[in-house]
Amino acid sequence: MRRRFAVPSVPHRPARRAIRAAGHAAALALAGPAFAAADPQGSGPLLAALAWVQGTLLGNVATAVAVIAVAMVGFMMLTGRLNWRFGATVVLGCFILFGSAAIVTGIRGAAIAAGQ
């Protein structure tokens, strides 16, 4: 008799990609104001688009979506329907997304202090 091996499905891969893409977009959006002094001519529309992305990712709608996501993930973790590691990843992603300005400020401060 031939054995069949179950291939574990990874339903969380699209969610990880979405979280990673949101993190990259937030980093790009927050990098715009940091380099405002060295803006090349004609970069106004690009900076306006990045400012819109930043406003969208850190605005009221994003905050409400993050609260709902954390509540749903917490409920699923408590009922045993979701792995605790993935749940912690979602919560950590929300902290990184909304705390990205403070993280960038700390990294820039450390880089400036190391360069002196």
- Percent of the chain whose pLDDT exceeds 90: 7
pTM exceeding 0.85? no
28-53 confidence digits (pLDDT tens): 555 555 545 567 787 888 888 988 88
> Long-range contact list for 94-102, CB < 8 A, 24+ apart?
94/66, 94/69, 94/70, 96/23, 97/22, 97/23, 97/26, 97/57, 97/58, 97/62, 97/66, 98/58, 98/63, 98/66, 100/23, 100/26, 100/27, 100/30, 101/30
Q: Residue 40's pLDDT is what?
A: 74
